């Protein structure tokens, strides 16, 4: 798995970036928000999501880890693929999108090209519990990232690498960690494998 690529920006368009690292150019699809963040820079650190299918191996790049976290939440929703998630993150930045989901603003999601009423409602229903509004300034946080200890996060990553869905793994690991807060990563993974 590629976590990030750091290097020189060889090519940048509103839809893609080529980052040269050790004489290899990595092509990644990006959102307009990532394009804005990278525009005018000579070098960059791009956080990566690898979409591996039978017919293609595609990289999606993000200017920061937070945008990638929101992208991963979006693609966990049934019917939302990486392309659609990228369009959503091009229309709304990750903070705006969190606020829209946390407040249940269906019409704001419907304003995104290609997102109908049913899809917008599904996104809000599936992700509302994972994104909570915090603080008076309306700042948002992703609960899945904050509720788990480092060993819990490690366990979820391991389960995803073993082929289990992210959302199911997350729920099971959260439950196990609540039941046994001092459990080691190995114990959490073994228990999760019994329950998945």
Q: How far is CA 15 from CA 6, 24, 86, 123, in A?
A: 19, 20, 9, 23
Whose tokens are 């989901």? That residue is: 101
Contacts (Cβ under 8 Å, ≥6 apart) of 182: none
pLDDT tens for each residue of the chain, 196 residues long: 789 999 999 999 999 999 999 999 999 999 999 999 999 899 999 999 999 888 889 999 999 998 999 999 999 998 899 999 999 999 888 888 888 888 888 888 888 888 888 999 999 998 888 875 444 344 445 544 445 677 787 888 788 777 777 777 888 888 888 888 888 888 888 888 888 7
Q: Which domains are present in the chain?
A: 4-62 (2.40.50.140), 65-144 (1.10.150.20), 148-195 (1.10.8.10)
């Amino acid at each position: 798995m590629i976590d990030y690529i750091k290097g020189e920006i060889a090519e940048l368009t509103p839809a893609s970036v080529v980052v040269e690292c050790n004489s290899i150019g990595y092509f990644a699809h990006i959102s307009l928000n990532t394009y804005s963040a990278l525009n005018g820079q000579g070098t960059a650190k791009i956080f990566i999501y690898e979409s591996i299918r039978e017919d293609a191996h595609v990289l999606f790049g993000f200017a920061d880890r937070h945008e990638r976290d929101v992208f991963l939440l979006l693609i966990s929703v049934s019917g939302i693929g990486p392309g659609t998630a990228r369009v959503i993150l091009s229309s709304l930045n990750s903070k705006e999108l969190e606020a829209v989901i946390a407040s249940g603003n269906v019409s704001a999601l419907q304003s995104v090209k290609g997102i109908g009423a049913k899809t917008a409602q599904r996104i809000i229903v599936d992700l509302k519990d994972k994104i909570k509004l915090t603080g008076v300034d309306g700042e948002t946080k992703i609960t899945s990232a904050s509720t788990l200890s480092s060993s819990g996060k490690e366990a979820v990553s391991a389960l995803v690498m073993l082929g289990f869905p992210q959302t199911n793994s997350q729920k099971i690991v959260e439950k196990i960690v609540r039941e046994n807060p001092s459990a080691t990563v190995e114990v959490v993974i073994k228990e999760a494998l019994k329950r998945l």
